[in-house]
Structure 1
Amino acid sequence: MLQILHNYDLQYQPNCLWPVGEFHAYETLQFEPLTEADKIALLQQFQPTSPAMQLWQQLHFILLGADAADFEIFTRLFSELPFLQQNMVYSQLMRSSFVGNSVGLDLAPLYRLTIESFCRENTGRCQVQPLQGNGNEEFAVFITNQFVSSLHGPTLTVLNYASALKQIGMHPIVICTTSVAKSTHLVYPMPTPVFFGTVRDEYFASNTLFDLDLNQTQPNPAGSAVKCWGQQFDFMQTTPMDDPAHLVDLVNFINQLNPRFIIGVGGLNPVLEFIAKARPVLSVPCVTALVLPIYAVPVLHRELTEHDQQRVETLGIQHPVLSSRLPFRLRQFDCVKTSSVNDKVLKFVVVGYRLEDEIRGEFMQTMLAIKQQYPQASFVLIGPTAIADYPATLEHCTLFTGRISNAIDLIADCHFMLNPKRQGGGTSAVEALSLGIPVLTHAFGDVYQYIGDPFVFETDADRLAFIQQYLTDAEFAVAYQDICLETAAQATDTAAIVQELLLTYDAYLQQLQYDGNSGLTAA
Structure 2
Amino acid sequence: MDTIEQTLAVATEHHRAGRTTEAERLYREVLAASPGHPDALHLLGVVALQGGRPAEAVDLIGQAVAGDPTSPLLHANLGHALHATGQTRDAALSFARALTLLTNEGEGWGNVSALAGLIRRYDDETRRAAAAEVDAAYAMGDVMRRHSLLFLLDGDVAHYEALTDAVLEDPMRFTVPSIHYAFWGMAMQLFQGAARSGDAGAFHTGNLTDYYRLMVDETALRFHLRRRMKRATPRGEVTRIALITNQMLGAGHQPTADAFDFARRLQDEFGREVVIINPNAMAITGENGFVPEYSYNITEEYDGEQVIAAFGARVRMMSFPQKRFDEEKVNAIVDYVDGFDPDVIVAFGGSNVVADLFSGARPVICLPTSSGLPLSMARLVLGYGEADTTQDWPEDMAERFRPFSFGWTLPATGPERGRAELGVPEHGPLFLVVGNRLDQEAGPDFLALADSLLDRLPEARIAVAGGVESLPQRIAALRNADRVHTLGDVEDVRALHRHATAYLNPRRQGGGGSAAFALADGVPVVTVAAGDVATVAGPAFTVADDAAYLERAAALAGDAAFHARQSAEARARFAASGDRRASVERLLAYALEAQTA
TM-score of the alignment, normalized to the shorter chain, above 0.5: yes
Residue of structure 2 equivalent to 1:40 = 131
Between the aligned partners of 1:197 and 1:177, the Cα distance in structure 2 is 11
326-335 or 194-203, which deviates more = 194-203
* Alpha-carbon displacement from aligned partner over 1:273-324 (angstroms, at most 9, x marks no partner): 1112211111111012121312453222246877x355222xx449611220
1:366/1:30 CA distance change after superposition, 3 Å: closer
From 289, 310, 325, the equivalent of 1:228 is: 310
Residue of structure 2 equivalent to 1:416 = 502
227-236 or 250-259, which deviates more = 250-259
Please tell me whether residue 293 in structure 1 is matched to residue 376 in structure 2: yes
Amino acid aligned to 2:518: A
Please tell me whether residue 458 in structure 1 is matched to residue 544 in structure 2: yes
In the TM superposition, what is the alpha-carbon distance from 1:25 to its structure 2 partner?
3.1
Residue of structure 1 equivalent to 2:247 = 146
From 86, 89, 108, the equivalent of 1:23 is: 108
Q: Percent identity?
A: 21
- Counterpart secondary structure, 1:379: strand
1:71/1:431 CA distance change after superposition, 3 Å: closer
Please tell me whether residue 158 in structure 1 is matched to residue 158 in structure 2: no
Residue of structure 2 equivalent to 1:218 = none
- Counterpart secondary structure, 1:392: coil
Looking at secondary structure, tell me which structure has more helix per residue.
2
In the TM superposition, what is the alpha-carbon distance from 1:420 to its structure 2 partner?
0.5
Between the aligned partners of 1:292 and 1:192, the Cα distance in structure 2 is 17
Between the aligned partners of 1:434 and 1:305, the Cα distance in structure 2 is 21
Between the aligned partners of 2:291 and 2:344, the Cα distance in structure 1 is 39
1:337/1:174 CA distance change after superposition, 3 Å: same
Residue of structure 1 equivalent to 2:299 = 200
1:396/1:304 CA distance change after superposition, 3 Å: closer
Residue of structure 2 equivalent to 1:375 = 458
Contact between 1:229 and 1:332, CA under 8 Å: does it hold in 2?
Answer: no
Between the aligned partners of 1:143 and 1:201, the Cα distance in structure 2 is 18
1:322/1:455 CA distance change after superposition, 3 Å: same
Residue of structure 1 equivalent to 2:448 = 365
Return the TM-score normalized by structure 2.
0.72
From 104, 122, 125, the equivalent of 2:223 is: 122
Instruction: Give 1:324-339 correspondences, 5 Å limit.
Output: 324-335=404-415
Between the aligned partners of 1:7 and 1:202, the Cα distance in structure 2 is 40
Between the aligned partners of 1:419 and 1:248, the Cα distance in structure 2 is 41
Amino acid aligned to 2:270: I
- Counterpart secondary structure, 1:282: strand
Contact between 1:419 and 1:439, CA under 8 Å: does it hold in 2?
Answer: yes
Between the aligned partners of 1:26 and 1:72, the Cα distance in structure 2 is 25
1:192/1:91 CA distance change after superposition, 3 Å: closer
RMSD of aligned residue pairs (Cα, Å)? 3.1
Contact between 1:40 and 1:61, CA under 8 Å: does it hold in 2?
Answer: yes
In the TM superposition, what is the alpha-carbon distance from 1:326 to its structure 2 partner?
0.8
Contact between 1:417 and 1:432, CA under 8 Å: does it hold in 2?
Answer: yes
- Counterpart secondary structure, 1:276: coil
453-462 or 490-499, which deviates more = 453-462
Return the TM-score normalized by structure 1.
0.81
Please tell me whether residue 95 in structure 1 is matched to residue 185 in structure 2: no
1:121/1:394 CA distance change after superposition, 3 Å: farther
Q: Which structure: larger Rg?
A: 2
Please tell me whether residue 112 in structure 1 is matched to residue 213 in structure 2: yes
Instruction: Give 1:384-463 correspondences, 5 Å limit.
Output: 384-387=468-471, 389-390=474-475, 391-463=477-549
In the TM superposition, what is the alpha-carbon distance from 1:455 to its structure 2 partner?
0.9
In the TM superposition, what is the alpha-carbon distance from 1:443 to its structure 2 partner?
0.6
1:31/1:479 CA distance change after superposition, 3 Å: closer
- Counterpart secondary structure, 1:292: coil
1:292/1:191 CA distance change after superposition, 3 Å: closer
1:74/1:248 CA distance change after superposition, 3 Å: closer
Contact between 1:416 and 1:438, CA under 8 Å: does it hold in 2?
Answer: yes
Please tell me whether residue 56 in structure 1 is matched to residue 145 in structure 2: yes
* Alpha-carbon displacement from aligned partner over 1:238-274 (angstroms, at most 9, x marks no partner): 1586364443343233333322121111241221111
Between the aligned partners of 2:571 and 2:103, the Cα distance in structure 1 is 58
Residue of structure 1 equivalent to 2:344 = 261
1:135/1:126 CA distance change after superposition, 3 Å: farther
In the TM superposition, what is the alpha-carbon distance from 1:352 to its structure 2 partner?
0.9
In the TM superposition, what is the alpha-carbon distance from 1:441 to its structure 2 partner?
1.0
Amino acid aligned to 2:193: G
Equivalent residue pairs, number: 475
Contact between 1:440 and 1:455, CA under 8 Å: does it hold in 2?
Answer: yes
Contact between 1:125 and 1:248, CA under 8 Å: does it hold in 2?
Answer: no
1:47/1:96 CA distance change after superposition, 3 Å: closer
In the TM superposition, what is the alpha-carbon distance from 1:56 to its structure 2 partner?
2.9
Contact between 1:88 and 1:186, CA under 8 Å: does it hold in 2?
Answer: no
5+ residue gaps in structure 2? Answer: 1-71, 73-95, 120-125, 420-424
Contact between 1:264 and 1:282, CA under 8 Å: does it hold in 2?
Answer: yes
Q: Which has the higher contact order (CA 8 A, sep 6+)?
A: 1
* Alpha-carbon displacement from aligned partner over 1:356-391 (angstroms, at most 9, x marks no partner): 111112211221121111111111111214415333
